[in-house]
Structure 1
């Protein structure tokens, strides 16, 4: 379960920014704080919403890949702030606080273009901070007494440009391997784009072949009022390229490699329509139907455990009632029994208001991004404005009460057309 994420010097994020999923009490409340199940990020185009999500994606990928896939002499493939010389010369910083087996951990690192400058892992049993390891270089590491195992051997195997946590997981360290799995295996990403949608639809194919998932997936397709009765798999001829993909794909999505999985990869998905019993291929369906099906697979897997789903542009091609229903799945304690979380970016302001439901997004679930004159992104929470219980957040946001909206002067737009017309006379 994600508690906080901090980042500095990644893409448009120059200065340190924090995204918190710790619940914020209203004035006068003294109840024990928990975590929110949903966090939505709003802002103008190019304000840095996607870059906040990109930073978390990059961090998880570094944990997964730095020891096994980054070249020994290839440096660190980071993406620093490029609009000033200080960004290129400054370290990039990433840190995440999370719960594992009901214990809080804090893990982070700093990197430049060539190596890891620092890495640390702390635990907080009974609320008190304890060091598991601290690193300033590959050779200069300090370990806490609570970390046992072959920690020195793993230290010697850790390259200057790879993370110790990544190396420890690759070398089967029990505790660090579990923490690695808690981060890498329990954070799923659904980015906006055609290629990512294809990967999500591949996952949906596997789930249609699994009795634990297929019934729920088809019921959610029917409930969405898309005119779809159910999704089916239709086998296609053997394809050696797909066979090779099948051997790689199950590992990436934690689906067991089996003959059933191979058949699922070779199959194609068709959607049987409610009217006339006609089946259509995905390429014949609307963008909204494909988007809903492709998100359902990730949502079902995330909700089954204490996982986190990160999705950009949750409203892309979806009706507001569908995107709001996805959010409500994560907020409903009957559906979300394991504390799964959803972090998303959106432009759909109806999710901020009360036109669709009494309250879709609570005040501590809404975040904003805004760029300053230097092009640097700032991230801040709606709760910082202490909105009243009856405040219309959607209207306030569109009116610029909280910032994070583009400034558009329509008279300037009209002037562009006047000038064009004058030139053509």
Structure 2
């Protein structure tokens, strides 16, 4: 479970900002099951989630995928030239197997500047490691030998996280942190685009998976009564094989007919690639077909509405999160989904019957109806709502609805739309009329 996330100098976030996921209202749970993030278009909502995704990617793959001869692929704030000289920071507090952890790092365009990991078994602070540039201090309680830790330090490049190196080296202290970022932090898309093959594989993996997905489609009142998964050979994979065969044949003919010199490594690489195609199993693509009513006709997903596809895209990741107790992060959850359906999804994470493992749902949205009363009562509690607003400088700030003193009988949705909490666009009708007519009177602005 994720307790908090802090970032600074990433995209539209110049100053450090922190998203707190602990309840401010007395609750039984250790963290909030749901966190909704509101804000105007281009306020920075997606950038906040992108910062968490960047942190995840750096942990899992900076050692393997970041170019050893290059710097760090950070995305700093670009509207202030001073940000180029300032570090970016990412810090997460989370819990794995009942042990709290704090992990974070700072970096610039060239290298990792600082990195640290602390654990808190039995509420006692324990240093796992602290890094300053290329110098690392390990905690005294680690199980690894001194020699192994020295090798780990030597393997760590200037532009790679030590934790990423430790993960690839199968070091014990990195395993719970790796588990959190790889298994317990899930990012899901809702908007336009094909339903991923991973969703089809989820449905096809176990009978109970298919049953639950079909049932969630049925109770969503979309008219779907069953799903069929079809496996077909990937046509692009076969086309690529024919292309390699043609290239190899052309090169060999060129050498045989004209004696042209060709780098033997080029021919060897083509032969090796062709052998992989011929000897390996053919790649398959998974397609989901839908059944409506008692008909035997199978519908392609392209026949379904965008809302149906969005719901089907979201269901497998939501079920995975609920089963594991993971953190599900969704940008623009209301894209193509009816507000009542979004409210029901939120309810699955707030209900201990469907969420016994402490899963969390973090999402951005423009759907203000979720701020009000719907279906069985309030969809969101006050401490589950956060806002992102953009200042005149172009930098983003985040703050919680719980920072505002509640009023008796207040209508949160109405107050938000009226600008009482900020984080809404300022839109003047006369400006729109003037823009259509060819220009805005700047003296009115």
Partner of residue 133, structure 2? 137
- Secondary structure at the aligned position of 2:95 is classed as strand
Structure 1 residues 158, 396: CA separation in 2 closer, same or farther (over 3 Å shift)?
same
Cα separation, 2, equivalents of 1:205 and 1:379: 36
Task: Answer yes or no: is the 8 Å Cα contact 1:192–1:311 preserved in 2.
Answer: yes
- Secondary structure at the aligned position of 1:68 is classed as helix
Q: CA shift at 1:179, angstroms? A: 1.6
Task: Answer yes or no: is the 8 Å Cα contact 2:19–2:398 preserved in 1.
Answer: yes
Partner of residue 159, structure 1? 157
Partner of residue 208, structure 1? 203
Which aligned segments of 4 or more residues in structure 1 are displaced greater than 4 angstroms? 237-240, 262-265, 417-420
Structure 1 residues 88, 299: CA separation in 2 closer, same or farther (over 3 Å shift)?
same
Structure 1 residues 32, 237: CA separation in 2 closer, same or farther (over 3 Å shift)?
closer
Residue 413 (str. 1) matches residue 432 (str. 2): yes
1:175 paired residue among 161, 173, 176: 173
Q: CA shift at 1:81, angstroms? A: 0.1
Task: Answer yes or no: is the 8 Å Cα contact 2:327–2:359 preserved in 1.
Answer: yes
Q: CA shift at 1:185, angstroms? A: 2.0
Partner of residue 312, structure 1? 331
**Once the two structures are superposed, what CA deviation does each residue of 1:45-81 show, in whole Å capped at 9, x if it has no partner?**
0000000000000000000110111111121100000
Residue 18 (str. 1) matches residue 14 (str. 2): no
Partner of residue 371, structure 2? 352
Task: Answer yes or no: is the 8 Å Cα contact 1:64–1:166 preserved in 2.
Answer: yes
Task: Answer yes or no: is the 8 Å Cα contact 2:73–2:109 preserved in 1.
Answer: yes
Structure 1 residues 266, 416: CA separation in 2 closer, same or farther (over 3 Å shift)?
closer
Bigger-Rg structure (1/2): 2
Match runs of 1:317-336 below 5 Å: 317-336=336-355
Task: Answer yes or no: is the 8 Å Cα contact 2:128–2:173 preserved in 1.
Answer: no
Partner of residue 99, structure 1? 95
Task: Answer yes or no: is the 8 Å Cα contact 1:209–1:264 preserved in 2.
Answer: no
Q: CA shift at 1:147, angstroms? A: 2.0
Residue 121 (str. 1) matches residue 117 (str. 2): yes
- Secondary structure at the aligned position of 1:342 is classed as strand
Cα separation, 2, equivalents of 1:413 and 1:395: 23
Task: Answer yes or no: is the 8 Å Cα contact 1:11–1:82 preserved in 2.
Answer: yes
Q: Mean alpha-carbon deviation: is it higher for 279-288 or for 163-172?
A: 279-288
Match runs of 1:26-425 below 5 Å: 34-138=30-134, 140-149=135-144, 150-191=148-189, 194=192, 197-198=193-194, 201-211=196-206, 212-237=208-233, 239=235, 241=237, 265-274=284-293, 276-388=295-407, 390-417=409-436
**Once the two structures are superposed, what CA deviation does each residue of 1:107-130 show, in whole Å capped at 9, x if it has no partner?**
000010111000000112333322
**Once the two structures are superposed, what CA deviation does each residue of 1:27-59 show, in whole Å capped at 9, x if it has no partner?**
xx6x77721111010000000000000000000
Task: Answer yes or no: is the 8 Å Cα contact 1:104–1:124 preserved in 2.
Answer: yes
Cα separation, 2, equivalents of 1:146 and 1:314: 43
Cα separation, 2, equivalents of 1:135 and 1:172: 19
Cα separation, 1, equivalents of 2:284 and 2:43: 38
Cα separation, 1, equivalents of 2:143 and 2:77: 38
Structure 1 residues 105, 284: CA separation in 2 closer, same or farther (over 3 Å shift)?
same
- Secondary structure at the aligned position of 2:157 is classed as coil
Instruction: List runs of 5+ in structure 2 lacking aligned partners.
Output: 241-280, 440-445
Structure 1 residues 264, 318: CA separation in 2 closer, same or farther (over 3 Å shift)?
farther
RMSD: 2.1
Q: Mean alpha-carbon deviation: is it higher for 369-378 or for 228-237?
A: 228-237
Instruction: List runs of 5+ in structure 1 lacking aligned partners.
Output: 245-261, 421-425
Cα separation, 2, equivalents of 1:55 and 1:352: 25
Using structure 2 for the length normalisation, give the TM-score.
0.84
Structure 1 residues 354, 370: CA separation in 2 closer, same or farther (over 3 Å shift)?
same
Task: Answer yes or no: is the 8 Å Cα contact 2:127–2:139 preserved in 1.
Answer: yes
Cα separation, 1, equivalents of 2:29 and 2:24: 7
Partner of residue 249, structure 2? none
Task: Answer yes or no: is the 8 Å Cα contact 1:188–1:309 preserved in 2.
Answer: yes
Q: CA shift at 1:236, angstroms? A: 2.8
Q: CA shift at 1:266, angstroms? A: 3.0
Q: CA shift at 1:213, angstroms? A: 1.1
- Secondary structure at the aligned position of 1:153 is classed as helix
Using structure 1 for the length normalisation, give the TM-score.
0.88
Cα separation, 1, equivalents of 2:205 and 2:408: 44
Task: Answer yes or no: is the 8 Å Cα contact 1:23–1:364 preserved in 2.
Answer: yes
Structure 1 residues 69, 389: CA separation in 2 closer, same or farther (over 3 Å shift)?
farther
Q: CA shift at 1:87, angstroms? A: 1.4
